[in-house]
Amino acid sequence: MTNTTRGTTRGIAREAVRAELAQVAFGLFRREGFDKVTLDDLASAAGVSRSTFLRYFRTKEDAVLGAFDAQGEELAAVLRDRPEAEDDWTALRRAMDHVLDPYRRDPEHSLALTALVRETSSLCARRLEKQDGWRAGLARSLAARSGDPGPGTLAQTVRAAAALDCLNVALDHWTASDGRSDLDALVDEAFAVLAA
């Protein structure tokens, strides 16, 4: 959602409808299984036409992963604003707290969502595709922190990619533990492996 859309009544209403459709879709996917649910099923469950559903989400995957669209830009902004005294790796780890916030606020929903993504190959692939788009933004943010307006060095791009992998591996372990492991500790441990 753009800043100009964010403040308008129409934009707020659109985001509310989008959130409601996503919630209905997620519930149906959990009950029936992602691969068994069609776009027609989603539209019917939400009480809208297929064309209305498609105005909000182009694919079933987008109905689950729509929140990822803005998350990459937000993460890059959070990283750019980290204290200058932090080295790149520490700044990346601390910026990941922004991604972890929804998991802290609603661990039950987050665990169900992460499990659905992990167990569904098309969702897993789409999530990785979206995160691949985050890498360039994170590298630019690392460059900006050092006063470089460019796209980031090879080293900064590698750090950005490694940070995303650390996050994903920690999430996989957290999901495998059925949410019993401390997610922050898992992310810290994953980052510590590469800190040297």
pLDDT in tens, the chain (196 residues): 444 445 688 888 888 999 999 999 999 999 999 999 999 999 999 999 999 999 999 999 999 998 787 899 999 999 999 999 999 999 999 999 999 999 999 999 999 999 999 999 999 999 999 999 999 999 999 999 989 988 999 999 999 999 999 999 999 999 999 999 999 999 999 999 998 6
Are the folds of 3-64 and 67-195 the same?
no
Residue 131 makes CB contacts below 8 A (sequence gap 6+) with 68, 72, 164, 168
pLDDT of residue 9: 87
What is the per-residue pLDDT for 29? 95
pLDDT of residue 68: 80
* Residue 138 · residue 75 · CB < 8 Å: yes
SS3 (DSSP) at 32: helix
Structure tokens at 122: 């098309």
> What gap in Å lies between CA 61 and CA 125, rounded to an integer?
10
Instruction: Indicate the CATH number of 67-195 among 3.40.50.720, 3.30.450.20, 3.40.190.10, 1.10.357.10.
Output: 1.10.357.10
SS3 175: helix
- The domain limits of the chain are 3-64, 67-195
Place of tokens 């533990």: 177
Tell me how far apart the alpha carbons of residues 17 and 149 are, in angstroms, rounded to a whole number. 38
Q: Given this model, what pLDDT does residue 196 score?
A: 66
Separation between Cα atoms, residue 134 and residue 75, nearest integer Å: 8
The runs of H, that is alpha helices, within 7-120 are: 9-32, 39-46, 50-56, 60-65, 68-80, 88-105, 107-119
Four-residue CA torsion sign, 183, 142, 79, 110: negative
| Class at the top of the CATH hierarchy for domain 3-64 | mainly alpha
